[in-house]
Amino acid sequence: MQPSPHPPRPLPQWPGPRTRQAIADQAHFLKTLIDRPRLTGSVAPSGRYLARAMARPVDPARDGLVIELGPGTGPVTQALIERGVARHRLVLVEYDHGFCRLLAQRFAGARVVQGDAYDLPKTLAALAGQPVAAVVSSLPLLNEPPARRVKLIEDAFGLMGPDGLMVQFTYGVGSPIPREACAQRFSAHCTAPIWRNLPPARVWTYRADRDGRVAEPLIARLIRHIEPRPPRARRP
């Protein structure tokens, strides 16, 4: 029997552990989206580029807890750990029971709290008095009415105090926190679009505005300068 002139085909390989985990996370995320679309707000977990951009503003050397809102399957949690935030400093506030169970298994040492992220004083009552350095949110804020979004940032800075930092991503163009709520209270800055995330997103950071300045995006400043001004009244 003569050998075949064609080399044997390689046997198909099963997906590796990371691929299987990503597939499982995607399936869980889609199920949650179907069950509770308003609370999920996305078709997939945050990609690693978005997750890293959200973790980047957090200073791991600063004392205090880091509270993550809506961690889902934990991509931003992992990015915060890689950034240098110790697990025992992480408080993960998640509404979905299945995600809570997954987070507790995946991030041993972090504190997982099942509860409503839009009612932080009640959900995090057990943490009252503990220093909080930052609040990092993956909540789909644009699915919520403006009043609820304003309450969220007020509650967040109520926990953190004036030196705190709030991080929020959005698929929208403008600030997910209404600009009128930031005026004279919070400064807001955003990154360039993160095109390598699907869909592309921006990351906004909010800080207490000590100088009482109104933070506004560049396009708003340009429009303000272009708008015609009323003529000055002539002196008699």
pLDDT at 13 over 70: no
Q: Which residue has the tokens 């299945």?
A: 98
Please give the pLDDT value at position 43: 46
First to last CA, the chain: 115
pLDDT at 114 over 90: yes
Q: Higher pLDDT residue, 189 or 22?
A: 189
C-alpha 234/C-alpha 58 separation (Å) is 53
Which strands form 186-190's sheet, in the order they lie side by side? 111-114, 90-94, 65-69, 132-137, 165-170, 202-208, 186-190
Beta partners for residue 31, in sequence order? none
Q: Per the confidence metrics, is the pTM higher than 0.85?
A: no
pLDDT per residue over 164-217, tens digit each? 999 999 999 899 999 888 888 999 999 999 999 988 999 999 999 876 444 444
Please give the pLDDT value at position 32: 55
Determine contact, residues 94/103, Cβ cutoff 8 Å.
Answer: yes
Segment among 157-161, 218-222, 225-229 with least mean pLDDT: 218-222
Tell me the pLDDT of the chain averaged across its residues: 82
Alpha carbon separation from 10 to 3, 6, 7, 13 (Å, rounded): 17, 12, 9, 9
pLDDT per residue over 45-102, tens digit each? 568 999 999 999 999 999 999 999 999 999 999 999 999 999 999 999 999 999 999 9
Categorize the per-residue pLDDT at 223 as very low, low, confident or very high, splitting at 50, 70 and 90. very low
Q: Higher pLDDT residue, 8 or 220?
A: 8
Please give the pLDDT value at position 225: 47
Segment among 11-15, 59-63, 132-136, 205-209 with least mean pLDDT: 11-15
User: Which fold is adopted by the domain 25-226?
Assistant: Rossmann fold (3.40.50)
C-alpha 175/C-alpha 172 separation (Å) is 8
